[in-house]
Structure 1
Amino acid sequence: MLPLGRLYEVGGRRLMLHRSGDGGPAVVFLPGAGLVGLDFLNLQERVAGFTTSVLYDRAGTGWSDPADLPRSAGAVAGELRELLRVAAVPGPYVLAGHSLGAFYARRYAQLFPAEVAGLLLLDPGHEDILAYMPPEAAELNEQMKQDPEQMPDLTGEQIELARAQYAQLYEEWPDPVREALAEHHLVSWRSSLYETANFETEIYDELRHGGGLPDVPLLVLTAGGDNPYWAQFASEEFMRQGLDGVRRMQAAIAASVPRGEQRVIEGASHQYMHLEQPDQVLRAVRDLVAGQVPKPCRA
């Protein structure tokens, strides 16, 4: 049962989209791997107070129809464009992409630059990430890869622990949405591994050779806290060097366009920045919608 939003027919599949508010430019949230549109409901509802606010599930995730994963960034961007057309959400858009969703937001901007009013990238990755990492990062990256088909199912104890954690994470969500979202994550936790399996084989090259970004305001929000996933595999020294590399990498993303800016959100984690520091993310959205990102300096 769909807890919120409605389903739209796009390319032979039904895709979930939920929209609130009115005015423009519309803000569209693109979730990271393992997350779905409703994970961003806290921000979506607040953004709806000052402009059209949209969250959705791409095919193969959430409450949208299944699709073979992984998918190319171009396919996801084209699907989103058609979904927004079918749902009659007028452009141009401020695309708010988190992690994997930031790759998809950048690819959308490469392919359809006239339809983008601004970009908000929440702790994004980058196709040249290893150039910013310590020398041993490539080997560690291989060690961290996991085959979702070989991973055991969650135990009853793990399920109950995760359910309690989700209840805390989404305590401000309406009861039916909170419960449905938690149960969804408990059965679909492998999806993040499926979605990111083509980083090195496809997505990185798509972005690398896809052309520059349009001259629109761009904000990069960098998670200033530790990365708990890295901590399972890496030493404290690697963590320090790696997080410093991520900051430099994301600063370079911001510097790649005339109106780019990086903001470091201290204490925020990669996965849950939007839950831990919602006011900071909301401020960035407001600035993009209002056009308050610094304009380029011209000689």
Structure 2
Amino acid sequence: MRTIFILYLFTLSAVSFAQERSVNVNGNNYHVFVKGFENRAANAPAIIFENGMGVDLGNWKKILDQVSSFAPVFAYDRAGIGKTDKVFKMPTTKFVAENLHDILKSLKIAPPYILVGHSLGGVYIRSFAGFYPNEISGLVFIDPADFTETKNDWNAIFRTMGIPEKKIDEMLYNRLYQQSTGIDSTNFGPWSERQVLNDLRKTDFSEISKLPLPNVPVYFLVGGKFEVPPAQRSKDYDQEAFFHIKNSSNMERWKKLMYSSGKGGMLIYLTNAGHYIHWDDPRAVINSIKLLVESLKE
């Protein structure tokens, strides 16, 4: 009878672990999704997903189940996003990294981790990896906000396009320094995340560049499809030309980042996928993560 009871508890625990749930960490309720941990082997990496700006974990629904078939997965809503409580603190890279670390610890999801970040999530996983480098097995950036970019990099694209310096200065000012004042408490999560990214750009991401890069494989998946509708495009410059030049510029810096890791990596440019690659081409993302997982077994 005792053996049966123990087996029943194990089964119940495994089933309850593979679902969406709420976990209270640091006095706030975080909405999380966990799956596949009941069969996790010793030292096998867990796949940790970090969403883009203002986006909830449903953003990963096209790939979570398939990835969980070969590795345990964890996804969550950051503070003020989706079903997670609002936390009226700015989501700086340090704040988000420490919160995520505490959430993983509370769920007993031990390292090593493969971090997968989309858009702003790429900025956050680069920071997490810098704060906890010994806990990381790999990094997968999905069309990330470019944390290697400087203001001069941005301006250089416009110079290549022949935009006058006065106009370049005006556009840079409008991008970084002309913003609404006051806190939007209704949408504090998305609002505050945008402010954090804006502040990082003002300093050329200095607080990230000084963090160590773990000696792990680094993968980049880049969307090459220009998606801005004609009616919404800039009247000041050819936005589609800017998009393609910027992608090329970004990838040159990202290749240097991959080489600097010591473990190499992979860069995939997907011409038929836009910013949300995991929606436009989920198979490419799933296969890339699987390739990384398999490479760590060698």
- The residue type paired with residue 92 of structure 1 is P
Structure (1 or 2) with the larger CA radius of gyration: 2
Any conservation in 2 of the 1:61–1:191 contact (CA below 8 Å)? no
**1:28 — aligned with what?**
48
**2:215 — aligned with what?**
215
Pick aligned residue for 2:31 from 16, 19, 33: 16
Q: Map of 1:1-299 to 2, 5 A cutoff?
A: 5-22=20-37, 23=40, 24-68=44-88, 70-124=90-144, 125-135=146-156, 136=158, 139-144=170-175, 147=179, 193-200=194-201, 204-210=205-211, 212-226=212-226, 228=228, 232-233=233-234, 234-235=237-238, 236-258=240-262, 259-270=264-275, 272-291=276-295
Any conservation in 1 of the 2:217–2:258 contact (CA below 8 Å)? no
Q: Helix, strand or coil for the counterpart of 1:5? A: strand
Identity %: 24
Any conservation in 2 of the 1:34–1:189 contact (CA below 8 Å)? yes
How far, CA to CA, are the matches of 2:199 and 2:296 in structure 1? 36
Any conservation in 1 of the 2:138–2:217 contact (CA below 8 Å)? yes
How far, CA to CA, are the matches of 2:153 and 2:204 in structure 1? 18
- Could you state the TM-score of these two structures normalised by the residue count of structure 1? 0.75
Q: Which moves more between the two structures, 257-266 or 200-209?
A: 200-209
- Cα distance, 1:48 vs structure 2: 1.0
How far, CA to CA, are the matches of 1:129 and 1:280 in structure 2? 29
Go from structure 1 to structure 2 and tell me whether the alpha carbon gap of 1:251 and 1:242 turns closer, same or farther (over 3 Å shift).
same
Gaps of 5+ in 1: 151-184
**1:171 — aligned with what?**
none
How far, CA to CA, are the matches of 2:107 and 2:229 in structure 1? 37
Count of aligned residue pairs for this structure pair: 256
Deviations 1:199-225 (A, max 9, x none): 235781210222x21111111111122
How far, CA to CA, are the matches of 1:6 and 1:203 in structure 2? 37
Go from structure 1 to structure 2 and tell me whether the alpha carbon gap of 1:55 and 1:117 turns closer, same or farther (over 3 Å shift).
same
Q: Where does structure 1 differ by over 6 angstroms across 4 or more consecutive aligned residues?
A: none
- The residue type paired with residue 66 of structure 1 is K
Gaps of 5+ in 2: 1-18, 159-167
How far, CA to CA, are the matches of 2:180 and 2:140 in structure 1? 30
Deviations 1:134-155 (A, max 9, x none): 53466434434674679xxxxx
Q: Helix, strand or coil for the counterpart of 1:80? A: helix
How far, CA to CA, are the matches of 2:284 and 2:63 in structure 1? 11
CA RMSD of aligned residues (A): 3.1
Deviations 1:170-198 (A, max 9, x none): xxxxxxxxxxxxxxx9x987565345343
Any conservation in 1 of the 2:79–2:87 contact (CA below 8 Å)? yes
**1:181 — aligned with what?**
none
How far, CA to CA, are the matches of 1:68 and 1:253 in structure 2? 34
- Cα distance, 1:52 vs structure 2: 0.6
